[in-house]
Structure 1
Amino acid sequence: MKIPFSIRLLQPLATFASGLGKRKKLLIMIYHRVLDKPDFMRPGEVDKVAFTWHMQLLAKHFNVLPLADALDRMQNDTLPSRAVCITFDDGYADNYNNALPILQQFNLTATFFIANGFLNGGRMWNDTVIEAIRNFPGSVLDLTEIGLGQFDMISENQKGQAANKIIGQIKHLPIETRNQYTAYIAAQSQNLPDDLMMTSEQLKKLYQSGMEIGGHTVNHPILAKLDDEIANQEILQNKLFLEQLLSISLRFFAYPNGKPDSDFLRQHKQMVRENGYQAAVSTHWGVATKSTDQLQLPRFTPWDKTPLKFMIRIFSKYN
């Protein structure tokens, strides 16, 4: 697999930055998918080539730790400089097919947060929207009946923009309403995939390969939109299912969507603790320190497209 040549030019930057990160900070990185190749419908996701150079740089210039080890070492003041953890959310099949071999290539581990309601042929609502628009056979998608307007579908760029806008419009609707809108959009299209998420067997093999598995609710709802009893069941039933499937005790949880005080609230942190989790991660951008709330750990999405910008952005987090 061809890696960008500019990686070989990064050693001076790494040498210059070797003095950074002496303070005990932990950068937890978020990924969702590792695609076979770039996808105009998913511009924010990495493909195998990009993920390979991401991991190559992390392995060479940073101290990549399992999440459990990193949190333990942060608390006992033995966290190394430039400490990094790698995490994945949701449970996509390409985590097993694409991400796992690359992680193993560089002898790295990651934590995979799984929404078990989509295993074995399921599809998350946002993926239904994306794939319905990708496969829409016409030139204009008319959603005026559900109050979302009309969208031109002639070019790839128009399809990508439409999916992004529609997802933003319905993301925070009540779950039943959002599901109704999603089903309406799906009915306008054809040939929706049923292999986007891992199977139970793939998840078992992922765990057996040495990767950490964490909880992510059953159906990936925005917890702040749920009654407390339903929210607690989403957290608890997800944990029980994964623990029984893998014969383990889950230690870590990721809040769906993950924005503090918007997607999850104080009571959801309490639910996570009461359901036996050691720590939980959000999507609030930042780095963690010993004083960070262990039930609201920040993470960071590596969206830079070139190795140089990728490295500069990450090194800047340790200042």
Structure 2
Amino acid sequence: MSFVLRSLFQALSPAGDGARLSVLIFHRVLPAPDPLFPDEVDARRFDALCGWLADWFNVLPLDEAVVRLNAGTLPARAACISFDDGYADNYSVALPILQRHGLPATFFIATGFLDGGRMWNDTLIESVRLSGKLKLDLSGLQDALGEDLGQHALGDMIGRRTALSRLIERVKYLPPESRLACVNAIAERAEVSPPNDLMMSSGEVRALRRAGMQIGAHTVSHPILAKLDANRAADEVARSRDALQALLGERVGLFAYPNGKPGTDYLPDVHPRLVRELGFDAAVSTHWAVARRGDDAFQIPRFTPWDRGRLKFGMRLANNLIRGDPRSAAARANY
């Protein structure tokens, strides 16, 4: 099976001018499966994925891959691995697995959450996870559309999953200050004090870099850039870069758009130009596709894998390569 899949990737992702770069995106690698998020990647599953990637692809550091893609010197079956946000398990769980397989990765850090910070979604998630209530009454709190958040049953794990899937989407697009106030209010209603050890420390970010991994910027507070005015968007991007450069003592040239959906989370005609003007070399989105020579280096697409089986995982990667083929009707339909 490995030979067949490797041959398929060789055909779909040749070397040179016709090369296609697959960039995978991860967020967390949990020590053990999470019953609240059964599809979240855990250590055992990530170890298997890394083994498959090492077998099938030429995995490169992202900055090198971007330069070689634009120069037409990318190898066949080229791929990169990336992580967003800066979770502590990226260092404690993912790094040893990456090292064992000899794979490089790029970690995009939202700098405002280092050293004991917590992202808004984790405040929400941990409030629902840890609450002892059977019903969470959020009446009076409003979502991004101004609609009441209402009541949510927490009697079992299915109910908690359902509550989270609804609440995350409804709260996500609130302005940053309103979003933070909302999730803090949810924690109070849930009668929960969420943990403050979910994100990396500054020392762990430095240790990732010493281990040969790349570090990129991901704003300070992980806002939806499309919802910010130009000055505030520039400040979020620049301050995250400056904080990381001060922390690492070196230039940071890579950036990831928070959430990363073009047209929804960032504006393709505004923010790539902003990131370029701030001196970055490349930026990544979460649009599903592959990058080809001549594509915008400030809107590199990424792909989110989720299949557990080797064949399904491989075929989904192959399908993403096919979708990235400009000759494909399916590719045109997906843009």
Residue in structure 2 matching 1:284, options 277, 284, 287: 287
1:97 aligns to 2:100 (yes or no): no
The AA in structure 2 aligned to 1:305 is: R
The AA in structure 1 aligned to 2:93 is: N
Contact 1:88-1:111 within 8 A present in 2 as well: yes
Structure 1 pair 272/18, CA: closer, same or farther in 2 (3 Å)?
Answer: closer
Residue in structure 2 matching 1:24, options 19, 26, 48: 19
1:61 aligns to 2:62 (yes or no): no
In structure 1, what is the equivalent of residue 276 of structure 2?
273
Cα shift readout 1:31-70 (whole Å, capped 9, x = no counterpart): 0000011112233420001100110001011110111111
1:147-186 pair list within 5 angstroms: 147-186=148-187
TM-score for the superposition, normalised by structure 1:
0.94
- Gaps in structure 2 of 5+ consecutive residues: 142-147, 323-335
1:312 aligns to 2:304 (yes or no): no
Structure 1 pair 17/300, CA: closer, same or farther in 2 (3 Å)?
Answer: closer
Structure 1 distance, partners of 2:2, 2:103, is 21
SS in 2 for 1:86: strand
Deviation at 1:173, TM superposition (A): 1.6
Structure 1 distance, partners of 2:179, 2:321, is 39
Structure 1 distance, partners of 2:223, 2:155, is 32
In structure 2, what is the equivalent of residue 72 of structure 1?
67
SS in 2 for 1:194: coil
Deviation at 1:18, TM superposition (A): 4.2
Deviation at 1:256, TM superposition (A): 0.5
In structure 1, what is the equivalent of residue 38 of structure 2?
43
* Equivalenced residues, count: 311
Structure 1 pair 142/44, CA: closer, same or farther in 2 (3 Å)?
Answer: same
Farther-moved stretch of structure 1 (104-113 vs 258-267): 258-267
Structure 2 distance, partners of 1:290, 1:221, is 30
RMSD: 1.3
Structure 2 distance, partners of 1:81, 1:210, is 23
Farther-moved stretch of structure 1 (99-108 vs 73-82): 73-82
Q: Percent identity?
A: 47
Deviation at 1:227, TM superposition (A): 1.6
- Gaps in structure 1 of 5+ consecutive residues: 1-8
Deviation at 1:19, TM superposition (A): 3.3
The AA in structure 2 aligned to 1:38 is: P
Farther-moved stretch of structure 1 (267-276 vs 91-100): 267-276
SS in 2 for 1:34: coil
Structure 1 pair 182/28, CA: closer, same or farther in 2 (3 Å)?
Answer: same
Deviation at 1:167, TM superposition (A): 0.7
Deviation at 1:177, TM superposition (A): 2.0
Structure 1 distance, partners of 2:104, 2:262, is 26
Deviation at 1:214, TM superposition (A): 0.3
Structure 1 distance, partners of 2:262, 2:319, is 23
